[in-house]
Amino acid sequence: MAAKTLNIEIADRLVKVCESIPKGKSYQIKHSFMFQTPENAVADGAVLAPDILAAELRGRLKEHGLTDVKSAVFTITSGKVASREVMLPPIKENHIRNAVATNAADYFPIDLSSYHITYNLLERTEKGEEAGCRVLVYAAPLALLEGYFKMADKANLSVKAIDFSGNSQYQALRALRSADVTMYVNVDCTSSFVTFLQNGKLLMQRSFTFGGDEMILGYMNAAGKTGVEYVEALHECSEEPASFFSRNVMDDAEVSENLNRLVGSIIRAGDYFNSNHWDVQVGRVVLLGPCSRLVGLRDLVANGTGLETTQLGEMPGITSFANAAESASFYISCLGSSIAPLDFMPPQFLADRKSAKKSREKTDSIVLGVIVSVVGLLAVLALSALAFLGYVDARQNKAAMEKEITGLEYARTAYETYLQYQKNADAITALSVNISSPNDELLAFIGELEERMPSDIEVLSAVCSRESASMNITVPSYDEAAVVLVQLRDFESIVSLEVSPIVEQEDETGVSHVNFSVNCLYKQNPAAAYPEASPEASPEASPAP
């Protein structure tokens, strides 16, 4: 019988659980369910309250009859995981790990002692000018990974693997091959993740912090629902338009307003890909994820992008992944996490789990020995004429111990005070990390543009992400283009500059002008940034070939 595995994705709003079994070289979902994440238990994918989350998970597994499955694969959805695409020489695959470890400090200029580094080999070219290994390198905080091990231990689950949701989606979607560039948009509650694929080849990935949350929370507020009714509100917002609008909770204009920022982010992601890939353009959009069926979303995306927009459940062959097309769409990260998961299994955590298991076994042996000894002692005392003297002596010892415990009461109070202090200190530390903004250099960058750019420059369009700014620029001549590039390279607010080919064109009046695009990467702390797992456009990922 095929081995069963639990695939679990823990996000800020929802926890998604699948029971999967191997099917050929892939996996198939046999059973799936989702439930609302306990309040304050998870923040940006980090498990803050493993006890509470484990208790809720155990209860849900029991409710769905899955308590017999102990092996679990987790997939992480978090902006704390950084990624960067690199090109290595055409070395053997068993040497890639050492090459990545040697150059990790160059990929991520941070204190790597608190991070776990791993990679995924995307493509290998053996011959020609572009010979080499195209590798996507990941860095995840050890504290983030440790939370999953703690939660699994308390839920009586064995961690088989830990993956990143971006890799999980890529592994599952790459099987749906298409000659056109397909833009897969996984719409979750508090964030969305975009994957660009062509014939199974990963071209780019991006994430942004807009999902279905704004629409769902707006609906809950209008309908007078409480926080615990989030999943119910999600289902109601995903009904057919006629059924949804018959409730008279929101009208069409309110729906469009609540989806505006999500749709705008999807459109900008497609435009950004097209502006950085002159040879290929996005051919269609495929929506997936728990919020992909929000009322009106499909039409708004289709109108905004001008592209064919479909649901993942409508793709040919998608039902081979699950017992229903909707399950494959909602649980795509869970499904893909078993195919080729990343190595997010730090050795120190595995060693700690083995030591804890041995310690528990040793403790159980000691307890068993003590029980046997006590039983024997009681039998002897029952038959001994000195039983009464032993009883008196035991009472005297008990009184002495109680007196000693009373004298040490101050120590217990001090210890509890220390624990409370430590908890407050940890909360302050977590807050100080989370409030850092990756856009600290944006104002400085804009200021330098106003101060140092020539007056005859014309910026046709600009896209500002959390870690970079991309601009389409027109100037009268190549001389002005050179001035612009020299000035940009000297900006103190950016760390890197990427330039597209410079093209000279004439307008309808015969006046010539020079067009080009630039991508400016801000100076920032990569440990706090990287909400976008993009192989391009940020310190997470360099430009795809």
DSSP-assigned letter for residue 130: T
Which of 467, 470, 463 lies closest to 523, judged by CA?
A: 467
* 1-175+325-345 carries CATH number 3.40.640.10: no
Best CA proximity match to 7, nearest among 89, 105, 76: 76
Q: Which residue has the tokens 């307008």?
A: 507
In what helix (H) or strand (E) does residue 99 lie, and over which residues does it extend? Answer: helix 93-107
- Per domain, the residue ranges of the chain are 1-175+325-345, 177-316, 365-434, 442-522
**CA-wise closest residue to 313 among 302, 304, 323, 299:** 323
Higher pLDDT, 398 or 361: 398
The per-residue pLDDT for 1 is 45
Inter-residue contact 493 to 522 (CB < 8 Å):
yes
**pLDDT band, very low/low/confident/very high, at 320 (cuts 50, 70, 90):** low
CA distance 498 to 490: 13
Closest CA to 192 of 218, 221, 165, 217: 165
pLDDT at 328: 80
For the four alpha carbons of 233, 235, 240 and 243, in that order, the dihedral sign comes to negative
What is the structure's pLDDT at 429? 67
Share of the chain above pLDDT 90, in %: 54
Please report the pLDDT score of residue 163 as a whole number: 96
Q: Which two tokens stand for residue 207?
A: 């994430």
Where are the alpha helices (H) located in 318-408, listed in sequence order?
325-330, 332-336, 347-383, 387-407
Tell me the mean pLDDT in the region 420-446.
68
pLDDT in the model for residue 529? 43
Contacts of 281 by beta carbon, 8 Å cutoff, 6+ apart: 181, 274
pLDDT for 526: 46
| Dist. CA 105–CA 361, nearest whole Å | 41
- Interatomic CA distance for residues 116 and 82, integer angstroms: 11
- Mean pLDDT, the chain, rounded, equals 85
Q: Is the dihedral of CA 252, 257, 259, 260 positive or negative?
A: positive
- Distance, in Å, from the CA atom of 260 to the CA atom of 257, rounded to the nearest integer, reads 5
Domains 177-316 and 442-522 share a fold: no
Q: What is residue 270's predicted lDDT score, i.e. its pLDDT?
A: 96
State the CATH architecture for 442-522. 2-Layer Sandwich (3.30)
Determine the pLDDT at residue 493. 82
Tokens describing residue 21: 């079994």
- Specify the higher pLDDT residue, 490 or 316: 490
Residue 37: DSSP 8-state: P
Per 3-state DSSP, what percentage of the chain is helix, strand, and coil (rounded to 5)? 45, 25, 30
Identify residue 463 by its one-letter amino acid code: V
- Gap between the Cα atoms of 491 and 497, Å rounded: 10
Question: C-alpha distances in angstroms, 366 versus 34, 358, 369, 370?
Answer: 42, 12, 5, 6
Cβ atoms within 10 Å of 413's Cβ, excluding its own? 9
- Would you place residue 439 in the very low, low, confident or very high pLDDT band (cuts 50, 70, 90)? low
User: CB within 8 A of 504, min separation 6: which ones?
Assistant: 478, 512, 513, 514, 515
Amino acid letter, residue 90: P
Two tokens, residue 36: 């609302």
- Which of 28, 79, 127 has the alpha carbon at shortest distance from 529? 79
User: First CA to last CA across the chain, in angstroms?
Assistant: 44
**Confidence at residue 296, expressed as pLDDT on a 0 to 100 scale:** 96
- pLDDT band for position 28 (50/70/90)? confident
Q: pLDDT value at position 532?
A: 43
- Residue 246 has what pLDDT? 95
CATH 3.40.640.10 fits 177-316, yes or no: no
* Mean pLDDT, residues 370-377: 62
How far apart, in whole angstroms, are the C-alpha atoms of residue 221 and residue 126?
58
**Predicted confidence (pLDDT) at residue 234 exceeds the cutoff of 50:** yes
Distance CA 194, CA 273 (A): 11
* pLDDT at residue 262 in the model: 97
Distance, CA of 505 to CA of 515 (rounded, Å): 7
Residue 35 has pLDDT above 70, yes or no: yes
What is the C-alpha separation between 458 and 475, in angstroms, rounded?
Answer: 6
pLDDT (average), residues 263-275? 96
Q: Locate tokens 């990569």: which residue? A: 526
Q: Which residue has the higher pLDDT, 431 or 218?
A: 218
Mean pLDDT of 433-437: 55
DSSP string, 495-527: EEEEEPPPEEEE-TTS-EEEEEEEEEEEP--TT
pLDDT exceeds 80 at position 533 = no
**272 closest CA partner among 466, 506, 447:** 466
Mean pLDDT lowest for which of 111-115, 136-140, 248-252, 368-372?
A: 368-372
**Res 466 pLDDT > 80:** no
- For residue 250, which amino acid is it? M
Is residue 322 over pLDDT 90?
Answer: no
- Region of residue 24 (phi > 0: left; psi between -120 and 50: alpha; otherwise: beta): left
